[in-house]
């Protein structure tokens, strides 16, 4: 198939699922089959595109030209392909999981749920393939809006509150900072196209560049840098499949992806290395990592703990981007993938526990391993991968990030990463350990696992964590492509 056609189809296919879902609204089996099939089709398309396109001389598809000289355009590049690949692979997996979860949980408005889900994926694909900052911004905002109905799915007072924080923080940071930074960049350089090595000429004042970098990083609220991280825990009012795919993979990764794109293709990492403000931002990322870990330790609500763990893990990627060295950026890019598989496993498990055992608090999970051995085992593997222990995927990205901090000689950052790993053990790994070895609070009632569809999805995610340890090379090579 023609690459241009593929580029057009990738954001379009999830959108095509919308009418299919609406038509089959009355027949849940067909509706979910439609979702699942589109997911598989989408992954197939992304994989095909990756297989046939020459990423060093990528084709560009111009969708429209809303402003003179500024177009909405799609163009594949290594980092974007990586992101698209992860999101499109995990979408059908999450759909599989959602089928079990949503039915067992007797959720209302399931059709709206699947429609908004498909729209969110379409926006994510747009972000991944965007050829310039304007396109990225457009899809970034659409993603915020498309996920809003998912966050407020329950429709009660708590959902309304969560939705307000979610939308308020994401929209206001992006409008006040990101848009400003973007218009400013356009005014300075006359281009917003992602260009290898950056777009700013040597003559641009470093002070202005520093201000711009700060605006870009804080403007990308989805990267959840403190103090603009509050939306992520607030989003946990959403049903668990949403938290799993969108708030562990698509939305948050869209944030750090944007930061990486800006660093690599608007500033160029050499420029980043020269800017003193990047060091400060790296320090702030380190602070985010530690503080979020501490908050996670004190959260008894399982999903809130996972959310803060995500905030902390996103800090890794922002930190990697701000180092201004190749290892940091490559490590950051790989961490998008590794963390995605690890964290989605954890969320899947949290949802499974909620559905099967009706427990949402960490303190209630003692001894649950006897009732839900498979789920707890998966939880263990997911947490170990996030900690960065072999034989799980998280090892490699953490390795590269540590190497990046060593390359810059900022040993405090190295220390932060290592301390954070220890903290991870204390607040994540402890859960399955107590699940297996602590004495249950109530009498165990025998085996009571999650719905089979959900278990299948968990299995796929766990398998991903393991496979990524043994063959990280394709991803590493792909990520390295950004510097070729």
Residues that bind other proteins in the complex, under the rule CB under 8 A: 64-68, 72, 134, 137-138, 141-142, 145, 149, 152, 155, 159-160, 163-164, 167-168, 171-172, 175-176, 179-180, 183-184, 186-187
Nearer to other proteins, 169 or 384 (CB): 169
Rounded to the nearest whole angstrom, what is the least distance from the CB of residue 31 to other proteins in the complex?
A: 19
| Bond from prior residue into 232 cis (ω within 30 degrees of 0) | no
Q: Is the dihedral of CA 29, 30, 33, 35 positive or negative?
A: negative
Q: How far is the CB of 279 from other proteins (least distance, A)?
A: 24
Interatomic CA distance for residues 388 and 59, integer angstroms = 37
Q: How far is the CB of 8 from other proteins (least distance, A)?
A: 15
Nearer to other proteins, 137 or 469 (CB): 137
275 conformational bin, left if phi > 0, alpha if psi -120 to 50, beta if neither: beta
Q: What is the dihedral of CA 430, 434, 436, 438, to 10 degrees?
A: 160
Closer CB to other proteins, 109 or 301, in the complex: 109
- Smallest separation, CB 175 to other proteins (Å): 5
The Cα 137–Cα 127 span in angstroms is 8
* Closer residue to other proteins (CB): 184 or 436: 184
CB 31 within 8 A of CB 109: no
Q: Take residue 318 and report the two structure tokens written for it.
A: 């922002």
Q: State the nearest-atom distance from the C-beta of 172 to other proteins, in Å.
A: 5
* Contact residues for 207 (Cβ-Cβ < 8 A; gap 6+): none
Minimum distance, C-beta of residue 91 to other proteins, in the bound complex (Å):
23
| Closest CB to other proteins among residues 228, 347 | 228
- In the complex with other proteins, the residue whose CB is nearer, 178 or 346, is 178
How many C-beta neighbours within 10 Å does residue 126 have? 26
* DSSP result, 300-368: -BHHHHHHHHHHHHHHHHHHHHHH-SHHHHHHHHHHHHHHHHHHHHHHHHHHHHHHHH---BGGG-TTG
Nearest to other proteins of 179, 418 (CB atom): 179
Assigned token pair, 226: 């403190």
Between 149 and 324, CB nearer to other proteins: 149
Least distance between other proteins and beta carbon 189 (Å): 12
Do 79 and 261 meet the contact criterion of CB atoms below 8 Å apart?
Answer: yes
Rounded CA-CA distance 259/253 in Å is 10
Q: Nearest approach, Cβ of 139 to other proteins (angstroms)? A: 9
Give the DSSP H or E segment for 278. Answer: helix 276-298
């Amino acid at each position: 198939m023609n690459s241009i056609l593929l580029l057009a189809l990738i954001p379009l296919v999830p959108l095509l699922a919308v009418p299919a879902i609406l038509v089959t609204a009355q027949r849940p089996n067909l509706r979910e089959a439609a979702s699942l099939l589109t997911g598989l089709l989408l992954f197939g398309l992304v994989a095909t595109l990756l297989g046939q396109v020459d990423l060093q001389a990528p084709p560009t598809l111009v969708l429209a030209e809303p402003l003179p000289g500024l177009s909405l355009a799609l163009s594949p590049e290594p980092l974007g392909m990586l992101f698209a690949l992860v999101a499109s692979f995990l979408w059908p997996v999450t759909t599989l999981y959602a089928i079990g979860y949503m039915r067992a949980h007797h959720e209302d408005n399931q059709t709206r749920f699947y429609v908004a889900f498909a729209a969110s994926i379409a926006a994510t694909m747009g972000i991944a393939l965007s050829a310039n900052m304007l396109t990225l911004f457009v899809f970034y905002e659409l993603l915020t809006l498309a996920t809003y109905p998912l966050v407020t799915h329950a429709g009660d007072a708590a959902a309304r509150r969560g939705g307000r924080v979610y939308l308020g923080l994401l929209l206001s940071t992006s409008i006040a900072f990101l848009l400003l930074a973007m218009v400013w960049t356009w005014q300075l350089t006359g281009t917003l196209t992602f260009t290898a090595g950056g777009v700013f000429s040597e003559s641009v004042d470093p002070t202005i560049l520093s201000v711009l970098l700060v605006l870009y990083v804080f403007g990308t609220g989805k990267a959840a840098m403190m103090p603009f991280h509050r939306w992520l825990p607030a989003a946990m009012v959403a049903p668990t499949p949403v938290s799993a795919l969108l708030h562990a993979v698509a939305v948050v990764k869209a944030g750090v992806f944007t930061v990486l794109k800006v660093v690599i293709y608007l500033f160029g990492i050499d420029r980043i290395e020269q800017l003193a403000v990047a060091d400060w931002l790296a320090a702030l990322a380190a602070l985010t990592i530690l503080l979020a870990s501490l908050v996670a330790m004190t959260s008894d609500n399982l999903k809130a703990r996972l959310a803060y763990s995500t905030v902390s893990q996103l800090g890794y990627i922002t930190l990697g981007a701000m180092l201004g060295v190749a290892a940091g950026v490559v490590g950051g890019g790989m961490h998008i993938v590794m963390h995605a598989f690890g964290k989605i496993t954890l969320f899947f498990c949290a949802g499974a526990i909620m559905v099967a055992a009706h427990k949402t608090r960490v303190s209630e999970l003692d001894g649950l391993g006897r009732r839900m051995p498979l789920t707890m085992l998966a939880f263990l593997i997911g947490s170990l991968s996030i900690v960065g222990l072999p034989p799980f995927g998280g090892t490699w990205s953490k390795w590269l990030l540590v190497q990046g901090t060593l390359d810059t000689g900022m040993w405090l950052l190295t220390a932060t990463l290592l301390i954070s790993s220890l903290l991870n053990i204390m607040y994540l790994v402890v859960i399955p350990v107590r699940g297996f070895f602590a004495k249950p609070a109530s009498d165990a009632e025998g085996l009571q696992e999650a719905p089979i569809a959900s278990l299948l999805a968990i299995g796929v995610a766990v398998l991903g964590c393991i496979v990524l340890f043994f063959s990280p090379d394709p991803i590493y090579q792909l990520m390295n492509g950004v510097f070729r």
